[in-house]
Structure 1
Amino acid sequence: MSNVKSIRLAARVAKRPFRVSIEGNIGSGKSTCIQHFAKYKNVETHSEPIQEWRNVSGHNLLGLLYSDLKEWTFAFQHYVHLSRLKIQTSPPSNPNITVKIFERSVQNSRHCFVENAKKHKFLRDPQYQVLQNWFDYTEKNLDISLDLIVYLRTTPEVVWERMMNRGRKEESEVPLEYLQQVHESYENWFSSRNMGCEVLTINADRDIKSVIEDLERYTYKILGGNHTN
């Protein structure tokens, strides 16, 4: 990156809230983590827009995805990219917001779910190339940078059991194999050399009380070293 581009990026980052993406497999506790930080007055939180995905002009895109991954992954990932982009880059709701915490990121879609879909042939190569170019254009022309990733690391068997217990209709058809694929994609993504930000890993196989204790322990870091009650 040139010095001019670096200076421009630094200027944009200085004007925006500290961005934290909560990452993890389905059922890892991301929503609980988001809710935990909603109590801070200077923090704006965003859960995944699942209701939006369930009603795209009357179409349940999430349900369609899980019913036929090969047929619907391309359309779903297009829409997910758009919805994550809106959350990640939108201005804060008020000028007192200094931290923005959201459930998964634009980067997650590209480096985890799209890569997994390509590997397991849920996407054909032309579809994969379209999504890759869509992400590359976004990254080049918009500030989608992250300041911290909180990775709620789980084993697939644990989250599959949780998923079955919580009983979301769309998830009833998700096999353990898919959760294993997502887990592998996360591990591959976070082992890459250039993540662009720090990754804080928390063992989320444990009970929620233990996870919350870790979140409390790392609150100062997660809130960018500048949080208020």
Structure 2
Amino acid sequence: MVLPKFDGVCVLKEPVDKWRNVNGHNLLQLMYQDPKRYAMPFQSNVQLTMLELHNKKTSKSIKLMERSIFSARYCFVENLYRSEVIEASEFEVLSQWFEYVVNSSDIDLEVDLVVYLRTEPEKALDRIKARGRGEENSIPLQYLQELHRLHDEWLLESKFKVPAPVVVINANQDKELMLAEYNKLESIIFNKSREKALVLKNNAKIILNEINENQVKENIKEKGKENQIKEKIKKNGKEN
């Protein structure tokens, strides 16, 4: 993930180093080597370390996290359950623990904005290979396709609870273009003009940039036409 530096922003990267060393145990490697055996303890550790990041104190006015406890549950844990890597009992334990944490009045998990760097699975796989992280050298394309679909279900279709407005960015571009995109959206991401370009979708507000605005509008338009046709068919059926 490309994380540019902005003044007054505390950037918290995914805590991979902690996953690689849980008192000497590399849970990340163990999970990829034997997911049936180690997915449950790995995801338990992921939720713990994400919770630590959510509650990390900072003197900066803005805290920017790479992923969250929400994406861990709605995308990664959900995928493990759907693909039958974890048992139903393990899924329930992780889900109940997640629900307790997010609904606790003693824990502050408030999120102001979600930035969705929407990347095609093929592009994500290319970047994983280029990154060369040893534990990830056997990740199949299908796994990334499943996660991509779940991120869309969560952030675009609101099949799971969305904790905040969402900015959708086309992240299939190279590093230079991505940095330019960040700079262009800085005023929206950092709450300087967030009321600009808001579109309501179910219970989430999706803030659109130039890349996907026309596409989403066209989809909404086509969906409206489809509903009109269905209504006409239904009406004609009643008349007959």
TM-score tier (shorter): 0.7 to 0.9
Of residues 99, 109, 113 in structure 1, which corresponds to 2:72?
109
Cα-to-partner distance string for 1:128-175 (whole Å, 9 max, x where unaligned): 000011011101112212111111111111111221122110010111
Of residues 168, 181, 194 in structure 2, which corresponds to 1:201?
168
Aligned residue number for residue 164 of structure 1: 129
Counterpart-to-counterpart distance in 1, 2:48 and 2:166: 24
Q: How does 1:65-214 map to 2 (within 5 A)?
A: 65-92=31-58, 94=59, 97-141=60-104, 142-190=107-155, 191-192=157-158, 194-214=161-181
Match of 1:173, SS state, is coil
Counterpart-to-counterpart distance in 2, 1:222 and 1:202: 11
Question: Which amino acid in structure 2 is aligned with residue 137 of structure 1?
Answer: Y
Cα-to-partner distance string for 1:10-40 (whole Å, 9 max, x where unaligned): xxxxxxxxxxxxxxxxxxxx2x22xx03x41
Identity among equivalent positions (%) equals 35
1:202/1:211 contact within 8 Å kept: no
Aligned residue number for residue 15 of structure 2: 49
Q: Structure 1 runs of 4+ off > 2 angstroms?
A: none
The total of aligned residue pairs comes to: 189
The alpha-carbon deviation at position 104 of structure 1 amounts to: 0.3
Question: Which amino acid in structure 2 is aligned with residue 103 of structure 1?
Answer: E
1:118/1:125 contact within 8 Å kept: yes
The alpha-carbon deviation at position 76 of structure 1 amounts to: 0.6
Cα-to-partner distance string for 1:173-224 (whole Å, 9 max, x where unaligned): 1111111111111111111164131111111111111111111011112123
Question: Which amino acid in structure 2 is aligned with residue 163 of structure 1?
Answer: I
Counterpart-to-counterpart distance in 2, 1:121 and 1:86: 28
Counterpart-to-counterpart distance in 1, 2:125 and 2:31: 18
Question: Which amino acid in structure 2 is aligned with residue 57 of structure 1?
Answer: N
Aligned residue number for residue 189 of structure 2: 222
Question: Which amino acid in structure 2 is aligned with residue 209 of structure 1?
Answer: E
Cα-to-partner distance string for 1:48-89 (whole Å, 9 max, x where unaligned): 111111110101011111112221111011000010000111
Match of 2:115, SS state, is strand
Note the aligned Cα RMSD (angstroms). Answer: 1.4
Which has the higher relative contact order, 1 or 2, with Cα contacts under 8 A spaced 6 or more apart?
1
Q: Which runs of 5+ in 1 are unaligned?
A: 1-29
1:153/1:201 contact within 8 Å kept: yes
Counterpart-to-counterpart distance in 2, 1:68 and 1:187: 27
Counterpart-to-counterpart distance in 2, 1:186 and 1:175: 17
Q: Which runs of 5+ in 2 are unaligned?
A: 194-240
Cα-to-partner distance string for 1:85-115 (whole Å, 9 max, x where unaligned): 00111221x3xx1100011001111111111
